[in-house]
Structure 1
Amino acid sequence: MSENKKAVVLLSGGLDSTTALYLAKDKGYDLYALSFDYGQSHGRELKAARDVAQEVGVEEHVVVETNMSAWGGSSLTDEEMEIPEGDDSNDEIPSTYVPARNMIFLSYAASYAEAVGAQHVFIGVSEVDYSGYVDCRQEFIDAMENAINQGTVCAVEEDKEIEVHTPFINMTKAEEVELGMKLGVDYSLTWTCYRGGEVACGDCDSCVLRLKAFKEAGYEDPVEYE
């Protein structure tokens, strides 16, 4: 690791991003958490992000407001689209895909990183259990990292390139849960369900993948389900 020990971690409050935050902490980074109020259908995950950031003890937690519901295109941002039930055998891109969401998030993360002097950005994407989301592939991450380092003064003028870390890119969610348990992640604070409410629904795509991961890892999910 370079001498620069500041890291911006994209923190949604879900399983992946929370594990990434704990991992960055374990590696000794000073943590700057970045979350988004992007017009998603409920705020339950944002509450989880705040709870996780407080529990871990980040240097700063910024919540960005950006209205992606203005154009919809996803059942997470368009009230007229219904969130489908989960199907882990489905090989089609689900309606919960938010157009270019990780592209937008990583652009904000790059700006935030340059502003605070961080050369590291963590994002909890995986090519293995990624629901067909095209912005979770290594090819996309490599392209974004290149764009970031072509478009930031710190990289172009100061030779301080920003590295995008994807520690779970080749991991299954079960392997990620196993790692998280070793890191002491408090998964009871996290929220993965696509539907808002007091308890998780248990049958949306995100819940199905999460429950499967905990079962395969041999742990009980501490989150309550309907």
Structure 2
Amino acid sequence: MSFQKPSSKLNGVQKNSKGPKAVVLFSGGLDSTTCLYKAIKDGYSPTALSFDYNQKHKEELKSAKKIAKLLGIPHLIQKLQPDFFKGSSLTEKKIRVPKNSLGHTKIPNTYVPGRNILFLSFGVSLAEGISAERLYIGVNALDYSGYPDCRPEFIKAYAEAIRLGTKMGAEGNPLEICTPLQYLDKKEIVLLGSSLGVPFSLTHSCYDPIQGKPCGKCDSCLLRKKGFQEAGIPEK
């Protein structure tokens, strides 16, 4: 199976450039890519929105560019000021990414303060500006690292805030925050991605890659491996 050339149909996902618009927050990782393909499957014409927020590595952004090019969809990368996010091992070189710590009970240092709040705000602004109906985000409340900005109650509260604080909401047509992975474990996400034809080999999930290759020991690598093993699908 080749993923080299975009086409109007990709493994059961039918592109629809004339369908209703959606914005997809898109990192280039397994979850956000599955979310992007789900938006297309749902009949939406997506604009992918990625962020360069001074993360230690740019492997996910490289993946995001490849996948967006493959799909032939608009892809915006919002660059934030260097050193904007503090206190996270994903952005500060002096803080080490934890390894082999899956199952911890405390919020890990891979949490980036307020990241989803900020990313969603950019997504809302873009979505309202282009008259999109939906904003997709790949948050998950099951196989995740305990991040508070991934919880269903946060998404519900945020959706209410933008209903009150946007023109679309004031006019009775609020933007829908769509979280198709919210209650799926990693196995179910892998199975969904497989059914949609997600090019897993192009996605990148590792928090702390070594020369561009996954470390295999961070939470994200371990969760990804667990998901593929439980789904009975070879990890790519």
| Divergent runs of 4+, >4 A | none
Alpha-carbon distance between aligned partners in 1 of 2:136 and 2:181, rounded to the nearest angstrom: 10
SS in 2 for 1:170: coil
Equivalent residues of 1:10, 1:122 under 8 A apart: yes
Counterpart for residue 159 of structure 1? 172
The question of 1:52 aligning with 2:67 is answered yes
Q: Which residue, out of 74, 79, 87, partners 1:73?
A: 87
Aligned pair count? 218
Equivalent residues of 2:53, 2:85 under 8 A apart: no
Q: Which residue, out of 25, 28, 32, partners 1:17?
A: 32
Matches within 5 A, 1:83-122: 83-122=97-136
> In the TM superposition, what is the alpha-carbon distance from 1:88 to its structure 2 partner?
2.1
Alpha-carbon distance between aligned partners in 2 of 1:220 and 1:31, rounded to the nearest angstrom: 28
Structure 1 residues 147 and 218: alpha-carbon distance in aligned structure 2, compared to 1, 3 A threshold: same
SS in 1 for 2:155: helix
SS in 1 for 2:75: strand
| TM value normalised by structure 2 | 0.89
Alpha-carbon distance between aligned partners in 2 of 1:97 and 1:8, rounded to the nearest angstrom: 23
Alpha-carbon distance between aligned partners in 2 of 1:25 and 1:50, rounded to the nearest angstrom: 17
> In the TM superposition, what is the alpha-carbon distance from 1:54 to its structure 2 partner?
1.2
- Structure 2 segments unaligned to the other structure (5+ residues): 1-18
Q: Which residue, out of 18, 43, 52, partners 1:37?
A: 52
Alpha-carbon distance between aligned partners in 2 of 1:113 and 1:88, rounded to the nearest angstrom: 35
User: Structure 1 counterpart of 2:186, which letter?
Assistant: K
The question of 1:146 aligning with 2:146 is answered no
Q: Deviations over 1:122-161 (max 9, x none)?
A: 00111001111111000000111111121111221x3221
The answer to which of 119-128 and 60-69 deviates more is 60-69
Q: Which residue, out of 203, 211, 218, partners 1:204?
A: 218
Alpha-carbon distance between aligned partners in 2 of 1:162 and 1:77, rounded to the nearest angstrom: 31
Counterpart for residue 174 of structure 1? 187
> In the TM superposition, what is the alpha-carbon distance from 1:80 to its structure 2 partner?
1.0
Kindly report the root-mean-square deviation, in angstroms, between the aligned alpha carbons of the 2 structures.
1.4
